[in-house]
């Protein structure tokens, strides 16, 4: 569906996307995981045929966005990072107006809009104005809007950023349903749980480059240990972390906590106590993509 080789994006002198390679195949959910400024949106906008590339090659549906932008956009569904619904119009009108830009007959758009409103659970709001809707409802409406042309490929740029946990789960659930129906999804996120929940395959992006690639499981297996012991210290207590060297396989000292990668969490906790280190709190958990990112880049995903 999408193939990129050496793909780059430049803003003035600044290389926002630096020669990335990736391929998305039909039916999968593919993710770009990375912190703010990694170049995720820039990459998505190039795939969406709204932003010209600075270098490299890119094919979407086998077409070149530089030559066939409108034909590519005809077959895409786009959920942008920043909502751009028509606030003055009603929920239904937003879908209707948008669908008409794809050249679909009014009758068909009306039928689809109705179905999609049910799909995103906004049917009761059909004739309400968009402006007063909650953030989660707007996001779901944007997803419905992106589906109005029955796209072969859907691009979702940070679909749940800024939503409360309940609204996030509602969005995930809809995306999961789409995935089951075989819609190809490409999404960006800086939430590791989102990537783990939804993505079959993902690339980890940092400063315009792809630094790792694989399924969430593969990445965790390749880059980090099975479990993580998290130690929190009272303010100013981080100095004690020095004495933890060698206690687990990998020790990361962050501003507010110390993370120890290990294959046996309980044994590591015992070892920590044996060294006389007394943290305020101790937590043993499974490793996540967050730990993968940390081990590759030495930084956290969300600051």
Partner 1 sequence: MTALAARAPAPAPGSLYRAAMVLAWNARTYRRTWRATVTISFLNPIFFLLSVGVLLGDLVDRRGADLGGLSYLEFVAPGLLAATAMQLGAGEGAFPVMAGLRWVRSYHAIAATPVRVPELLAGVLAWACLRLAVGTVVFAAVAAAFGAFTSPLAALAPAAAVLCGLAFAAPLAAVSASVDSSLALTGIFRFVLLPMFLLSGTFFPLERLPGWLEPVAWATPLWHGVALCRSLAAGDVDAAAALVHVGYLLALLALGAVLATRALERRLRQ
Residues 66-105 that bind Mg ion (CB under 5 A): 81
Cβ at position 202, least distance to ligand ADP in Å: 14
DSSP string, 214-244: E-HHHHHHHHS-SEEEEEE--TTGGGGGGGG
Residue with smaller CB distance to Mg ion, 81 or 300: 81
| Partners of 251 in the β-ladder | 260
Say which entry of partner 1, Mg ion, ligand ADP, none residue 37 contacts (CB below 5 to 8 A, set by partner kind): ligand ADP
Residue 267 token pair: 């044994």
Q: What is the CA radius of gyration of the chain?
A: 22
Q: Could you tell me which stretch among 64-72, 199-207, 211-219, 272-280 binds partner 1 (CB under 8 A)? A: 64-72
Residue whose tokens read 């820039």: 42
Residue with smaller CB distance to ligand ADP, 12 or 298: 12
Whole-angstrom Cα distance, residue 280 to residue 220? 27
- Per-residue mark of binding to Mg ion, 21-40 (x: CB under 5 A): -------------------x
Q: Please, what is the end-to-end C-alpha distance for the chain in angstroms? A: 33
Cβ at position 34, least distance to ligand ADP in Å: 5
Residues 19-48 that bind ligand ADP (CB under 6 A): 34, 36-42
3-state secondary structure of 296: helix
Cβ at position 203, least distance to partner 1 in Å: 18
Q: What are the start-end ranges of the H helices in 123-280?
A: 135-146, 165-180, 192-198, 216-223, 265-274
Q: For residue 37, what are the contacts with CB-CB under 8 A and spacing of at least 6?
A: 207
Name the residues that contact partner 1, by CB under 8 A.
3, 5, 11, 48, 50-52, 57, 59, 61-64, 67-74, 76, 78, 80, 82-89, 93, 97-98, 100-103, 129, 145, 149
Binding site for ligand ADP (CB under 6 A): 11, 16, 34, 36-42
């Amino acid at each position: 569906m999408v193939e990129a080789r050496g793909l780059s994006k430049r803003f003035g002198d600044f290389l926002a996307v630096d020669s990335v390679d990736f391929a998305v195949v039909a039916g999968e959910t593919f993710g770009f995981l990375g912190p703010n400024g990694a170049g995720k949106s820039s990459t998505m906008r190039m795939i969406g045929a709204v932003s010209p590339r600075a270098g490299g090659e890119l094919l979407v549906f086998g077409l070149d966005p530089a030559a066939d932008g409108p034909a590519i956009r005809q077959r895409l569904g786009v959920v942008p990072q920043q909502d751009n619904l028509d606030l003055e119009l009603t929920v239904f009108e937003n879908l209707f107006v948008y669908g008409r830009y794809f050249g679909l007959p009014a009758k068909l758009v009306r039928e689809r809009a109705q179905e999609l409103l049910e799909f995103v659970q906004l049917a009761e709001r059909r004739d309400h104005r968009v402006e007063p809707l909650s953030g989660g409802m707007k996001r779901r409406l944007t997803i419905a809007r992106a589906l109005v042309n029955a796209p072969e490929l859907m691009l979702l740029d940070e679909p749940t950023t800024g939503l409360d946990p309940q609204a996030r789960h509602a969005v995930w659930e809809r995306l999961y349903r789409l995935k089951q129906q075989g819609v190809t999804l490409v999404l960006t996120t800086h939430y590791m749980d989102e990537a783990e929940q939804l993505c079959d395959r993902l690339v980890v992006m940092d400063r315009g480059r792809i630094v790792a690639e694989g399924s969430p499981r593969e990445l965790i297996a390749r880059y980090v240990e099975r479990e993580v012991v998290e130690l929190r210290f009272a303010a100013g207590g981080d100095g004690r972390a020095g004495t933890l060297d060698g206690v687990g396989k990998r020790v990361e000292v962050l501003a507010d906590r110390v993370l120890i990668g290990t294959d046996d969490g309980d044994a590591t906790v015992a070892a920590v106590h044996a060294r006389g280190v007394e943290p305020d709190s101790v937590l043993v958990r499974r490793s996540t993509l967050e730990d993968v990112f940390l081990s590759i880049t030495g930084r956290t995903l969300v600051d």
